[in-house]
Structure 1
Amino acid sequence: MSSFRLITEYSLWFILPALCVAGAYSWLLYSKKGPWSPLLNKILFSVRFILIFLLCFLLIGPLLQYIKNEFEKPIFVFAIDDSESNTISTGVAKLSALKKEIEQAKKILQQEDYTVDIVTLSGKLSIDDITFKNPSTNLDYLLDKVESNYENRNLAGTILFSDGIYNQGLSPAYKELGFPLYTIGLGDTAAKKDIILKNILYNKLTYQGNSFPIVAEIQNQGFEGKDITVIIKNKGKLLDKKIITFSRNYDLKEVEFRLTSDEKGLQHYEIEVVPLEGEFTDKNNTGHAYIDVIEGKEEILLVASSPHPDIKAIKSVTDQKENYSLNIYIPGITEFKNEKYDLIIFHQIPDLQNTAAEILNKYGKDNSSIWYITGNKVNYASFNQINNALKISQRGQQLDQVTAVYNPDFNKFSLTTEEASVISKYPPVSVPFGEFKPMNNAEVILFQRLGNVQTVKPLLLFSNANDKKVAVFSGEGLWEWRLLEFKETGTTKVFDKLIGNLIQLLSSREEKRKFKVYPINSEFYSSDPVLFETEVYNDIYEKIYGQNINLTVTSEKNEKKHYSYVNTENSRFEIKGLSQGIYKYVASTILNGKKETSEGEFLIKELNIELINGTSDFDLLRTISDKNKGVFLPVTKLSSLPEILKNSSPQSIIHSNEELSEIINLKWVFFLLISLVTLEWFFRKFKGGY
């Protein structure tokens, strides 16, 4: 429905003077007899009158108001929990019938001139496409999705189809929505006899030959007093078996297996609760543990001229990493262990007393990775001679107090904006006053800031020249950073991440291979694709593209799948449909007439949280309906839903859109005035009036 209205900037009473002016002017012009007929004289009088009146009328600022009304029909949203738990609680056959009933309810509401939309956890928008296989249930997310998508819309109500079981997100019982929420309870609330493997606890990393535990949490529902057998297997071989008995219903017990692996690499352990007769389902009787068995720890040597709080701060970081072993050598205090080290940290070495000169010469001149931490005891003349990353020209004994600024262009590892902000608030450290000259294309991680002025001087930098990794922290007072962060935030996450990433960068050995293929993660869920990165280099280690790559993926059952693709810039190779397990891969290509290969392994895991609980929770659905002005219905009464929704009397909303246009800006007004002037001029000219 649309309407027009004429309004003016000034009073409409000004139309009367406009009429008078137009009449007087036209009368003066045509009151005398002209060389034309009386009829034409009246016509010319009328034309001039209209022309003058329109011109005077436009002076009072007339506006044309256009109002357009649009009706938005009431919207009902069917929010469908299409998670896998419904398959257990309701059953496949009943879910198929349910989809037909939902479609029927939708058609009835649409016939009543309501809009009905579908929203699901999996993103499906059609009832026919729903398969009830979503691997998790987040009802809080589903309702938030409706609330955000239909904000400022005529949402008359949302109908949630669910069994009330959720395993991710917040409880929907705490939500207060801006629309009525009706709930349809799916499944059965009756407790089912079942033995459930609820969880498996284990460390993802262990060392070859070490003993490690795997703990299975098992819950009983209806089998109290029965002997329950729990077994653990590796590659189909039975490793251990334990028998437990539950004394009461809904009891939870832990079963611990202690194992040892002499085989390195990813190991797959399968824990199974042997099914009992009368169990509701055996899909939740099996769990999997994947443990990476590595050959040994990365050995780190920290050499210091004397005890210092920095040493404890660094040790606190390495102690959190199970794959690091830190040896501390302080001459005269601790004993030096002559071993092979992946990283050497020199704290205020070389010093003025030439402490640990033998160790410095041994590791400073070979290809060992080194992290130098300077301070007031450092002999900078010796320091400049032995390291190839940073030259520091100290002027006297003066020191500057500087704070740190993270360099966002550093790409060997990354910190978030929030983490960089935390670092910028760390207390000042003491650095030598003088010139700092990075060498061999060293990359700055942290810059020095003096007061409010950020300088280009490095506080922390990294170099990787001639196969030797070197980092230099050119300040003293590292320990204060960790202490202040803990005081301000109660954690040391940012400090630990910065130092941990630096140690990992220095201690890891880079492979100078011309061909690399690797998955972007070591673990994937079966519902996600496996993405492979491909790197191919020429003789001067520039990336090249257009290579034909052959990829073979082998499962634990020795089943092989072969793939071929061409590597391109900014693209990854994708594999879908792999089931749970450990996979090994071998990729190959021909480079300069020679076959190059790259190999590794990755893990596919199942997300089995939907199998833990098969008992519907109608109490939750009643609670959220009552809280949000809705009604709860069991699925058996779904046919009454359309009538209940119609009785809620949803109304259409009128959206009015108003537009104001100045008449003087309308094209047809311009052409009307031109036409009137032209018409009068033509007849007067033709009849000899000019």
Structure 2
Amino acid sequence: MLTFEYSPWYIGLCLVAGLLVAWVQYSARAPWPAATNRLLFALRALLIGLLAFLLLGPGLRLIRKFFEKPVVVVAVDNSRSVALATSDSLRTALVGELQNLQQELEDAGWQVAFSTLNKTTATPDSLRFDAVRSDIAGMLRRIINSYQGANLGALVVVSDGIFNSGFAPDALPVYTPVYTVGVGDTIPRKDLSIIEVRHNKTVYQGNRFPLEVLIRNEGMGPAVARVGVYRDGILLADKPLDITPGSRLLSERFELTADKSGKHRYEVRLQPVAGEATLVNNRTGFYIDVIEGKQKILLAADVPTPDVKALRLALEAREQFEVEVKINQSVNPNDYQLLILVQVPSRKMFSSKIKPLLNSRTARLIVAGTDTDLQALRQVGLLSINNVTGKPDKVTGVMNNNFSDFRLDHNLEELLAGSPPVYVPFGDVQLAPDDKVLLWQQVGSVPTRNPLIWFNSGEPRLGVWLGNGYWRWRLNEYARFGETTRFDELVTKTAMYLAARPDKRQFRVYPLKDQYEEGESIVFVAELYNEIYEPLYGIPVNLTIVNDSLQRQYTFTPVEGNRQFAVEDLPAGLYRFSATANIQGKQHRVSGQLAVDNPEIEETDLTADFITLRKLSAASGGAFFTADKLPELTRVLTQRQAPAIIHTREKEALLLQLPWALVALLLLATAEWLIRKSSGGY
């Protein structure tokens, strides 16, 4: 299709211009025959006319059409539960049927793609039923997002319907027909399985800690089996378990002692009982980190206040803290990792017993309210407020989004939104250059630049909670939410931050988490600093990971903007790692521990859930089939009308820019010149 920059009516003028120039050139008497003169006249007219036509800027619009075939994605649940509930021959037959499905659909004009729980793309030949979790909804959501805007004609989900991660797949809104294929057995088999072990992830050396084992009974009994708890392969305790018919959920509780520090693997084993369908789910393992000592925290005040009790309750909710409350008593500050001074020193009763606390080199949290002697705090350099009046101010808190020294997992803004105000001394707070504000004061609905809670990370660390009446926040949260999680986390994270010892090492390598699941990428972070603690980059780091049966070595180089390194495919186990680097001619070495856990949740339930699969198909307009009916599914899909999508692509180009236009002009000019030359002209 031709397009023009100017009106196409000018084409006639181009023809006239070509004829006019040719007539001027060849109207006179010529030395060659008349037939040659007429040929030369035509060539010159064409040349000039074509050149004038090209100067009009004509363009060529090319429209290209191509067809996008409909796509059917086969999502295969390759979890361990499928492998445990089906035989090798059944899985081999299933793979063969999926290959036939692919071939027949492709012959019918479909594109066929495969996906699994842990792989975006797969093939029938590459299927390995080894996924440790079944997140069917997550797999479907990933596929839908990947094919957004594409011609996705149908989804085929091959699964046992069991999901133990994410949410129910039939709750996912899907606007593409989903055809489900059920594998496995829906009839519960006689079996005993450990479904959960409730335990603390962290305990303190010397403490006793509880451990509760939950066991599902599917038609077993009467019988007696022993349940044992092992640490690093050594039996710690065992008890008899009475198995009675009709008791579907059984439990056994243990009290253990954490006598060895470090990270340890614990295992619960259930003695096999005759008639069980499988013994794989009769044992499960987990890791517990045993820490050598608690952090001692002193809560000191001249007089008892509700804030003291609220802070104590929040701190005692965490096992890692050992809290002592001292009211107007002499103490040695060096016996503690953190001093919390509530309304100390008091304007009403200044006690000499608290002077050592003000001048201590131990980390401190100052809770300074309307009864605090601010002048005394100013003299020792702990708090500076100008233009103080005797009248208190009622304020609430508003988050400082730039604070990043620690992260609050729960939504603190929910707590702040409806909490009653605290009473703060009225005046202008003077912050030090390196102070970091967590909460700003808000008067009514107006935020201010006066801080409410802030920290200084110098030596020793210092935190300030300005005001009194924080106990009302805790009561208000319980009244609104039935819990005190948000307030308690604010208190405990403050204490953890202040009591933490600063790390002055020039070389640090650590995993982002202490415990990973099998199949996860294990991410390490490397930090390198010079003598004045400026970050360094471009220095190679050698990392070694070992356990009793494996050793791997890696080398990576942190660069600015990326100090992380990922390790893949570590099997389950407890690992030790060490890293070395040469910083300014000096060799540095760090070491640590990490655990890779096999969650073993796939083994706890092997009864297929076809009801969920039927709901998923019905909600999306698809249909449900059992594995032996896969040929029928193939017939349904091949007969289904799923038209291809027609896409068009347009491209425009000026004729003057096309090579053939220039070639045509050159041929006309050359032909005219050759004929004139051969006829004796110039």
TM-score, normalised to structure 1, is: 0.80
Q: Superposed, which structure 2 residues align to 1:44-123 within 5 Å?
A: 46=42, 64-123=60-119
Q: Structure 1's 397 and 45: CA in aligned 2 closer, same or farther, altered over 3 A?
A: farther
Secondary structure, counterpart of 2:353 in structure 1: helix
Which one-letter code corresponds to 1:87 in the other structure? A
The alpha carbon displacement at 1:684 in A equals 11
Q: Structure 1's 435 and 664: CA in aligned 2 closer, same or farther, altered over 3 A?
A: same
Q: Structure 1's 527 and 33: CA in aligned 2 closer, same or farther, altered over 3 A?
A: closer
Residue in 2 aligned with 1:461? 454
Residue in 1 aligned with 2:620? 628
The alpha carbon displacement at 1:368 in A equals 1.1
Q: Structure 1's 518 and 51: CA in aligned 2 closer, same or farther, altered over 3 A?
A: closer
1:347 maps to 2:345: no
Residue in 1 aligned with 2:142? 145
Residue in 1 aligned with 2:558? 569
Q: Structure 1's 227 and 320: CA in aligned 2 closer, same or farther, altered over 3 A?
A: same
Residue in 1 aligned with 2:430? 436
Residue in 1 aligned with 2:246? 248
1:613 maps to 2:605: yes
Q: Which of 155, 159, 165 is the aligned partner of 2:156?
A: 159
The alpha carbon displacement at 1:83 in A equals 1.1
**Distance in 2 between residues matched to 1:137 and 1:308, nearest whole Å:** 51
1:126 maps to 2:123: yes
Residue in 2 aligned with 1:180? 177
Q: Structure 1's 16 and 338: CA in aligned 2 closer, same or farther, altered over 3 A?
A: closer
| Range with bigger deviation, 660-669 or 166-175 | 660-669
The alpha carbon displacement at 1:47 in A equals 5.8
Q: Structure 1's 265 and 689: CA in aligned 2 closer, same or farther, altered over 3 A?
A: closer
Which one-letter code corresponds to 2:456 in the other structure? S
| Range with bigger deviation, 400-409 or 650-659 | 400-409
Which one-letter code corresponds to 1:610 in the other structure? E
**Distance in 2 between residues matched to 1:61 and 1:544, nearest whole Å:** 60
**Distance in 1 between residues matched to 2:41 and 2:477, nearest whole Å:** 91
Residue in 2 aligned with 1:509? 501
**Distance in 1 between residues matched to 2:370 and 2:673, nearest whole Å:** 101
The alpha carbon displacement at 1:610 in A equals 0.9
Residue in 1 aligned with 2:298? 301
Q: Superposed, which structure 2 residues align to 1:153-552 within 5 Å?
A: 153-234=150-231, 235-248=233-246, 251-306=248-303, 310-311=307-308, 313-315=310-312, 317-331=314-328, 340-353=335-348, 355-359=350-354, 361-387=355-381, 391-394=384-387, 410-414=403-407, 430=424, 432-434=426-428, 436-438=430-432, 441-446=434-439, 455=449, 459-465=452-458, 467-474=459-466, 478=470, 495-510=487-502, 512=504, 518-528=510-520, 530-533=522-525
Q: Structure 1's 576 and 16: CA in aligned 2 closer, same or farther, altered over 3 A?
A: closer
Native 8 Å contact 1:395 1:433 kept in 2: yes
The alpha carbon displacement at 1:87 in A equals 0.5
**Distance in 1 between residues matched to 2:648 and 2:519, nearest whole Å:** 47
Which one-letter code corresponds to 2:627 in the other structure? V
Secondary structure, counterpart of 1:438 in structure 2: coil
Secondary structure, counterpart of 2:143 in structure 1: helix
Q: Structure 1's 101 and 47: CA in aligned 2 closer, same or farther, altered over 3 A?
A: same
Which one-letter code corresponds to 1:237 in the other structure? L
Count, aligned residues: 672
**Distance in 1 between residues matched to 2:226 and 2:543, nearest whole Å:** 45
**Distance in 1 between residues matched to 2:108 and 2:531, nearest whole Å:** 72
Residue in 2 aligned with 1:603? 595
**Distance in 2 between residues matched to 1:94 and 1:633, nearest whole Å:** 16
Identical positions, percent: 31
**Distance in 2 between residues matched to 1:36 and 1:528, nearest whole Å:** 92
CA RMSD of aligned residues (A): 4.7
Secondary structure, counterpart of 1:346 in structure 2: strand
Q: Deviations over 1:82-103 (max 9, x none)?
A: 1111111112343234323322
Q: Deviations over 1:111-148 (max 9, x none)?
A: 44432211111215233322110111111122222222
Q: Structure 1's 42 and 432: CA in aligned 2 closer, same or farther, altered over 3 A?
A: farther
Secondary structure, counterpart of 2:274 in structure 1: coil
Native 8 Å contact 2:301 2:344 kept in 1: yes
Q: Deviations over 1:466-491 (max 9, x none)?
A: x4121234456655766777888887
**Distance in 2 between residues matched to 1:47 and 1:480, nearest whole Å:** 100
Which one-letter code corresponds to 2:200 in the other structure? N
The alpha carbon displacement at 1:327 in A equals 3.7
**Distance in 1 between residues matched to 2:521 and 2:63, nearest whole Å:** 53
Secondary structure, counterpart of 2:617 in structure 1: helix
**Distance in 1 between residues matched to 2:441 and 2:99, nearest whole Å:** 66
Q: Superposed, which structure 2 residues align to 1:547-558 within 5 Å?
A: 553=546
- Residue ranges of structure 2 left out of the alignment (5+ in a row): none
Native 8 Å contact 2:578 2:592 kept in 1: yes
Which one-letter code corresponds to 2:375 in the other structure? A
The alpha carbon displacement at 1:655 in A equals 1.7
The alpha carbon displacement at 1:279 in A equals 1.5
Q: Deviations over 1:413-445 (max 9, x none)?
A: 246998679869986874553461416x44444
Which one-letter code corresponds to 1:368 in the other structure? T
**Distance in 2 between residues matched to 1:588 and 1:53, nearest whole Å:** 79
**Distance in 2 between residues matched to 1:354 and 1:25, nearest whole Å:** 116
The alpha carbon displacement at 1:508 in A equals 2.5
Secondary structure, counterpart of 2:405 in structure 1: coil
**Distance in 2 between residues matched to 1:27 and 1:143, nearest whole Å:** 73
Which one-letter code corresponds to 1:380 in the other structure? L
- Residue ranges of structure 1 left out of the alignment (5+ in a row): none
Which one-letter code corresponds to 1:284 in the other structure? N
The alpha carbon displacement at 1:316 in A equals 5.0
Q: Structure 1's 596 and 66: CA in aligned 2 closer, same or farther, altered over 3 A?
A: closer
Native 8 Å contact 1:22 1:50 kept in 2: no
Native 8 Å contact 1:431 1:476 kept in 2: no
Secondary structure, counterpart of 2:377 in structure 1: helix
**Distance in 1 between residues matched to 2:480 and 2:48, nearest whole Å:** 80
Which one-letter code corresponds to 2:246 in the other structure? R
Native 8 Å contact 1:346 1:371 kept in 2: yes
